[in-house]
Amino acid sequence: MTNLTPIQLEEFESVFRHFDRDLSNSLHEIEFSAALASLGLVYDEEEMHEVFESVSNGGKSVSFEQFITFMVEETEDQNSAEQVYHSFQEVADGKVRPSHTYWGFTILTQTSSLTLQRLTCVIR
């Protein structure tokens, strides 16, 4: 669970508790599906059933521990905005800032005749 921030853990726990309607400290498939959807993880019915079967190890419900383990796996490859920014800075060797890229894109999309000179000014 090392990649979860305290805020993420709190959010996941809050969602789990909210959808645990019968206070069983577990989520049945419909509750699990609703909990994931509230977190932006939406599956079609067949996929959801497969995910539930996997997470619950073939059981009738998902425990809090199983839920958190699943959420850790789902979020481990996601980067925070700060991580993306630092990665961008590292790749660009600190020379190009994301704001420059944004303005360059804005000019490109709003102008049909962009000269090399103007583009160079945007990048600097």
**Domains (range + CATH), the chain:** 6-75 (1.10.238.10), 81-123 (no CATH)
Question: Is the Cβ–Cβ distance between 38 and 48 less than 8 Å?
Answer: no
**Is residue 22 scored above 80 in pLDDT?**
yes
Query: Which pLDDT score, from 0 to 100, does residue 83 have?
Result: 57
The per-residue pLDDT for 122 is: 45
d(CA 48, CA 45): 5
User: CA–CA distance from 63 to each of 25, 44, 48, 92, 101 (Å)?
Assistant: 6, 22, 16, 44, 45
Whether 119 has a pLDDT exceeding 50, the answer reads no
**0.75 exceeded by pTM:** no
When pLDDT is cut at 50, 70 and 90, the band that residue 56 belongs to is very high
Top pLDDT among 96 and 73 is at: 73
Q: What is the mean pLDDT of residues 113-124?
A: 47
